[in-house]
Amino acid sequence: MSGIKDGARYIIHNVKGTTVLDLNGSDGRTIIGYPRHGGKNQQWETIRTENGWHIKSVGSDKYLSLDGEPRDDVRLIATQRPFEWHLWDDAKNTSTIRICVPNTKHNVDLTDYGNSAPGTPIAIWGRWEGTNQTWKFERVH
């Protein structure tokens, strides 16, 4: 897998929209696509588990999670409780990652087909070839 390291910090970029995973500074809960500024609310620590990964906000110590049961258009939120993700290389572009919900066909998606507008919601959707469902992990040192 594309070099993701346990305990490392990353800024996670959407391939199509070019915005990054951002813990909304207004509510400290919702996850949006937002232009990269490098703040701690845009930095995520990857934590290896027995069967996958936890992704934790550096700025809040909250974990990337779902606002409900897995189905299309369930939004991402930050919670105190860890959520387990699978991180897989994209089949077409192995330099990019898919952030997947285990035992489903859902993965993290910058909504509105990768809309680059600041504040675009990030949700899960059924997997397809769209690059709005692929992400680059930029290591923060």
Give the single-character DSSP code of 85. Answer: B
- pLDDT tens for 81-97 read 999 999 999 999 999 99
Number of domains comprising the chain: 1
pTM for this predicted structure? 0.96
| CB-facing half-sphere around the CA of 28: CA atoms within 13 A | 6
Those residues with Cβ within 8 angstroms of residue 131's Cβ, 6 or more apart along the chain or in another chain = 15, 16, 93, 96, 114
4 domain residue, yes or no: no
1 domain residue, yes or no: no
Q: Domain residues for 64?
A: 9-140
Q: What is the CATH number of the domain that holds 44?
A: 2.80.10.50
Q: Taken in order 10, 63, 1, 3, is the CA torsion positive or negative?
A: positive
54 domain residue, yes or no: yes
CA distance linking residue 127 with residue 51, whole number of Å:
20
- pLDDT tens for 3-50 read 899 999 999 999 999 999 999 999 999 999 999 999 999 999 999 999
